[in-house]
Amino acid sequence: MAHKKWLACLGVVFLLGGCASTPAPVFYTLDNGIEQPGPQGVAPSIVITQTNLPELIDRPQLVTRMANNQVRINEQQRWGEPLRRAIPRVLAMELGRKLDTGRIVSVPIDAQRIDADFRLSLEVQRLEVVEGRGADADIVWRLESRHGKVVLGRSVLHETERSAEPSALIAAQRRALAVIAAEIADQVRRWQEAAK
């Protein structure tokens, strides 16, 4: 009987030791958390109404694409917020900087009644970190003007980052979103010029 109690106690010690050795997860955000000077302009207004993501990255863990069609789902490295909310929010911030306007917001799909000069929806094909290479982005976007004119665009790019540090790879993803924001901003400017 004493032998069984000793074994049970030993099992509890091993179990507690295993729990104690598991590192706590680290949480990341897609933005850099640095306050930027506010935009000075007032136009145009853009509402980002919808963002769809592939299931591969629509999860709390950071996902790294590796060689031989493999991916690593990093259980100890996690997003602080869902990417389906973070991507449009960061894109809205970048668009605000490019167009010098504070009238760009991202909202859930059920908040479609917001009045805006432009409506933007995103279909994310890829926004991945690739081991040893950086970040790959492929986003199809649909921009609709207040008057019903629509343009479909697709931004495909690669941001090089040799570091394997998660924060450096996330910074590469953020840089990719800044480039995509610049492409969308160019389309908005073209429409504004044509309307003059």
In this structure, what token pair is assigned to residue 149? 């004119």
What pLDDT is recorded for position 4? 56
What pLDDT is recorded for position 70? 92
8 Å CB contact between 123 and 109: no
What pLDDT is recorded for position 194? 82
What pLDDT is recorded for position 159? 96
Over residues 27-41, the mean pLDDT reads 73
Average per-residue pLDDT for the chain: 86
Angle at 115 between CA 37 and CA 108, to 5 degrees: 75
What pLDDT is recorded for position 3? 54
What pLDDT is recorded for position 143? 96
Domain 27-195 fold is Rossmann fold (3.40.50)
What pLDDT is recorded for position 16? 52
Nearest CA to 161 out of 126, 137, 131, 138 is that of 131
What pLDDT is recorded for position 32? 76
8 Å CB contact between 63 and 79: no
- Please determine, for residue 47, whether its predicted confidence score (pLDDT) is greater than 90: yes
* pLDDT tens per residue across span 98-150: 999 989 999 876 656 788 999 999 999 999 999 889 999 999 999 999 888 99
pTM equals 0.84
- Please determine, for residue 2, whether its predicted confidence score (pLDDT) is greater than 70: no
Over residues 50-69, the mean pLDDT reads 92
- Please determine, for residue 40, whether its predicted confidence score (pLDDT) is greater than 90: no
- Please determine, for residue 14, whether its predicted confidence score (pLDDT) is greater than 70: no
Q: Where are the domains of the chain?
A: 27-195
8 Å CB contact between 155 and 143: no
The residue ranking higher by pLDDT, 35 or 147, is: 147
What pLDDT is recorded for position 67? 83
Measured N-to-C along each axis, helices 166-195 and 83-99 cross at an angle, to the nearest 10 degrees, of 50
* pLDDT tens per residue across span 156-183: 999 999 998 999 999 999 999 999 999 9
> Any idea which residue has 């009238």 for tokens?
103
- Please determine, for residue 51, whether its predicted confidence score (pLDDT) is greater than 80: yes
| 119: helix, strand or coil | strand
